[in-house]
Structure 1
Amino acid sequence: MKKNLDLIKTLQQNYRTFSKGQKIIAEYIMENYDKAAFMTASKLGKSVNVSESTVVRFANTLGYEGYRDLQKELQDLIKNKLTTVQRISLNDDFSDRQNSLKKILKKDIESINKIIDEIDYDAFEKAADEIRKARIVYVLGLRSSSFLAEYLGFYLNFIIDNVKVVNLGPNDIFEQLMKVTDKDLVIVISYPRYSKRTLEALRYVKERNCDIISITDSLISPAAQISDITLAARNSMVSFVDSLVAPMSLINALIIATGFENEKDIIRKFGDLEDIWNKYNIYDKNNPNH
């Protein structure tokens, strides 16, 4: 069976070929896929009164190397559909307050480690090079991604001259992007639940032959399908919060990589800024770390 097929359709099409225990698992997943996506093999087995090994063998029957791969496929299918209320009710792993801190931090560490293991370094270097060469760099991120977009735009402004952060301000995002040309670059930050407005904007700039770099959760995300370069950093689903620690780390690395070629110019700019900060008492001079 092909893993790339819609999992629910795969279960429906092959239901008659399953053993009695596998049919029970398949029925539960089809009817409660939003809950099954966050269950361990042991917990899923207990819910349907079969053994953990039966659940693991079922995943193998579907063509997965293990249950964790099946679980990930389920999560990928639903993570863009889950409401905030559903996330709260499903993530009982974090109900234990004493251990929740460690669990949350470990999830973020795992997400950053995935970047280290899976990042396409050639694409990363090409992205930094495209940022340096672009006439104007537009940074687009809406809703929760807007914080990352503002952060990226803030620091890129110290490195290159023409950076514009596109946001939901007085002007519609299409008005802010109306002067985009094939000499410009759009950096989009897009995470589930994917903003429909963001994807519409990407299609608009693509029609104008503008190159697009996407920072998103996966190479198969909607934004990645429209982009020329994709940098993937997974977000962690932590109850009602989408943890964006991993993409923030990737953005930090991208900012630094972009600035490598312009070190002398950056030193000059920050020297000028230090003069301005001192002149107008921007920072507390009584603080030795200012």
Structure 2
Amino acid sequence: MQENKQDLMKLIQLKFPRLSKGQKLIAEYILKHYDKAAFMTAAKLGTTVGVSESTVVRFANELGYSGYPKLQKALQELIKNKLTSVQRIEISNDYFIEENPLKSVLKADMENLRATLEKINTDTFDAAVNEILNAKRIYIVGFRSSQALVEFLGFYLNLILDNVRIVSTGISDVFEKLLRVGKDDLVIGIGFPRYSARTIEAMKFSKSRGAKVITITDSLLSPLATYSDYTLIAQSNMVSFVDSLVAPLSLINALVVAVGLKEKDKTQETFKTLEEIWEEHNVYNYKNKFNNE
């Protein structure tokens, strides 16, 4: 089965002379508009180029794929780190013409969660939890849209542990923040397409200093995974200029819960103290607004 996405365009060109008339129409469209084709169903692609859905399926088979979904996945892998925001907007505009945005986005997020559950390696997850618990210092690194995930993970780990440092703002001084990272430390890098170059450099730097590295990313082919000791996979596909962070956030929730369960007594004591502080300083609205007393 053809799986090397880097050779996909060359493969189509190589196969082109032997394709049927209808298959050539598909090939020509993909070569010119692979960014749009990657998010079309077989039926939609067939309608767009004027052939049947079965012709599209046979085209995928002719390229060596077991079915159209495999070809579509290869196309998506090819483009996901190359599309600009403008190109993403153009694709989502075409896609949502026939789709209800609310339903299609929710369905896409549910599919991301399902795929993440299938792909996640539980042994790697458990090992990552142990590294978090055993690290001298923990640095959580991520920029752009991943910054929200970094802040979320950092916020909750800080409630359980006292050695967590967030590196998500001030891109110019990332190396200053990682200056003292060493072999007893852990660096958690978070990044999804389009991958932040600064996050990748931070992973490379941390690895060179002997630190353990955990990455939360979308694929073992992610550039972050190159410098990782433990790679946790969360799918983030979305036909939009907006990044889908639902599955990555769910994975992070699982990490926090797992760490909390390992430190059960400490976590309970911490939250008992916090509840007293929150109530004393009116951090939350503890009074029932319907209570007239």
Cα distance change, pair 178–66 in 1 and its aligned pair in 2 (3 A): same
Cα distance change, pair 101–73 in 1 and its aligned pair in 2 (3 A): same
CA distance in 1, matches of 2:171, 2:44: 50
Does 2:185 align with 1:184?
yes
Kept in 2, the 8 Å contact 1:41–1:52? The answer is yes
CA distance in 2, matches of 1:117, 1:237: 18
Deviations 1:177-236 (A, max 9, x none): 111001101111100111111111111111111111111111211111221111111113
What one-letter code is carried by the residue in structure 1 that aligns with 2:3?
K
Deviations 1:77-122 (A, max 9, x none): 111111222222212332468x321221111111111122221110
Q: By how many angstroms is 1:66 displaced?
A: 0.8
Does 2:83 align with 1:93?
no
CA distance in 2, matches of 1:157, 1:57: 53
Matches within 5 A, 1:156-175: 156-169=157-170, 172-175=173-176
CA distance in 2, matches of 1:278, 1:271: 11
Does 2:211 align with 1:210?
yes
Identity over aligned pairs, percent: 54
Partner of 2:126: 125
Kept in 2, the 8 Å contact 1:135–1:183? The answer is yes
Partner of 2:12: 11
CA distance in 1, matches of 2:98, 2:141: 37
Partner of 1:245: 246
How many positions carry a matched residue from both structures?
Answer: 288
Cα distance change, pair 171–52 in 1 and its aligned pair in 2 (3 A): closer
Kept in 1, the 8 Å contact 2:142–2:191? The answer is yes
Kept in 2, the 8 Å contact 1:233–1:247? The answer is yes
Partner of 1:229: 230
Q: By how many angstroms is 1:48 displaced?
A: 2.4
Partner of 2:85: 84
Kept in 2, the 8 Å contact 1:236–1:244? The answer is no
Kept in 1, the 8 Å contact 2:5–2:75? The answer is no
CA distance in 1, matches of 2:3, 2:20: 20
Structure 1 stretches of 4+ moved >4 Å: none
Cα distance change, pair 266–285 in 1 and its aligned pair in 2 (3 A): same
Partner of 2:73: 72
CA distance in 1, matches of 2:11, 2:181: 43
Helix, strand or coil at the partner of 1:3: coil
Helix, strand or coil at the partner of 2:287: coil
What one-letter code is carried by the residue in structure 1 that aligns with 2:52?
S
CA distance in 2, matches of 1:76, 1:224: 15
CA distance in 1, matches of 2:206, 2:237: 29
Structure 2, unaligned runs of 5 or more: none
Helix, strand or coil at the partner of 1:231: strand
Q: Provide TM-score, normalisation by structure 1.
A: 0.93
Kept in 2, the 8 Å contact 1:215–1:231? The answer is yes
Kept in 2, the 8 Å contact 1:3–1:62? The answer is no
CA distance in 2, matches of 1:113, 1:44: 25
What one-letter code is carried by the residue in structure 2 that aligns with 1:2?
Q
Q: By how many angstroms is 1:36 displaced?
A: 1.2
Is 122-131 or 50-59 further displaced after alignment? 50-59
Structure 1, unaligned runs of 5 or more: none
Kept in 2, the 8 Å contact 1:94–1:239? The answer is no
Kept in 1, the 8 Å contact 2:141–2:190? The answer is yes
What one-letter code is carried by the residue in structure 2 that aligns with 1:130?
E
What one-letter code is carried by the residue in structure 1 that aligns with 2:107?
K
Matches within 5 A, 1:37-56: 37-56=38-57
Partner of 1:139: 140
Q: By how many angstroms is 1:5 displaced?
A: 4.7
